[in-house]
Amino acid sequence: MAFGVNLTGCPITVTGGVLQSASTQPRNHSLAEALDERGNTAARTLYGGDDDIKTVTVTYALKSGTFGGSSNKITIGKTNLVESVKVTTSNGAWPTIEVTYHDGETSANGVTVTGDDFELAFPEIEALKVAQPLMVSVGTGAKLTGSSITFKCDRAELQDDHGALCATAYSHGTLEVTADAVAVTADPSFTFTSPAAVEEFGGLSESNTAYGTSSAKGSGYVAAVVASNSNT
């Protein structure tokens, strides 16, 4: 065990990013039990665990440069085994990029990977301690205080005749956009940019000792750009 964050090999390149945290979780065993007539354990089996197949979540803070932009599209799905990328900005911290992916889903480990890839041009995120508009803008008279984009896809699993992982499939690319704002001279209003569309407004929260705040969430779908039913 070493001090600090020492993970390498993230499929998403974050140039100018500084590692903040990383979590690597091997595939855990599940437990099956047979209970006797008195409800006591008569037999038990652990199944499905595999130290070579891991779920990894890594978080970067953007210290310099930019992330995203129209010329630097982000890809998730079957090819790089990335399940989600989340970007968060606020007026109190540098932007963060959180990536969740699956390591070891390969034919060498007995896993067939099928499905699609999904590609999204994020708004260009700058390495600034600033709340940045990410597919959403705030109306005149209010100020943006925080925002996020989560770009993700679904991942389905198939188990073999003894409960071990034998196949996964990536599908259904979606995005979720959130924004928080404070009222200065007018109540906050929000306008979302395609492919995000408004899903819900959080309403206005007011206090006798603070300025009013509000939030909104938008969502959309991302079409598959690579479709394949072949093994990786």
Residue type, 199: E
**CA 62/CA 66 separation, integer angstroms:** 8
3-state secondary structure of 137: strand
Residues with Cβ within 8 Å of residue 227, at least 6 apart in sequence: 116
Q: Region 20-38: what's the mean pLDDT? A: 95
Q: How high is the pLDDT of residue 227?
A: 54
* Mean pLDDT (whole number) for 31-58: 94
Looking at residue 229, what is its pLDDT? Answer: 53
What pTM was computed for the model?
0.91
Write down the pLDDT at residue 217. 94
Q: Identify the three-state secondary structure at position 52.
A: strand
Query: Within the chain, how many helices (H) and strands (E) appear?
Result: 0, 17
Give Cα 23 distance to the centre of its chain. Answer: 14
**Per-residue pLDDT tens digits for 94-144:** 999 999 999 999 999 999 999 999 999 999 999 999 999 999 999 999 999
Question: By the 8 A CB rule, do 168 and 121 touch?
Answer: no
Per the CB < 8 A criterion, the answer to whether 158 and 166 are in contact is yes
Phi, psi for residue 145 in degrees, rounded to 5:
-115, -20
Quote the pLDDT of residue 1.
Answer: 57
The pair of structure tokens assigned to 137 is 């803008």
Q: How far apart are CA 75 and CA 120, in angstroms?
A: 7
Q: How crowded is the C-beta side of 218, counted as CA atoms within 13 Å?
A: 21
CA angle 88, 171, 15 (to 5 degrees): 35
Identify the H or E element spanning 158.
Answer: strand 142-159
> What is the pLDDT confidence band of residue 225, given thresholds at 50, 70 and 90?
confident
Give the β-pairing of 165-183 and 112-120: parallel
Domain residue spans of the chain: 17-27+47-228
Phi/psi at 108 (5° precision): -65, -25
pLDDT value at position 230? 46
pLDDT band at 232 (very low <50, low <70, confident <90, very high): very low
Residue 210 CB partners (closer than 8 Å, separation 6+): none
Q: Is the pLDDT of residue 228 over 80?
A: no
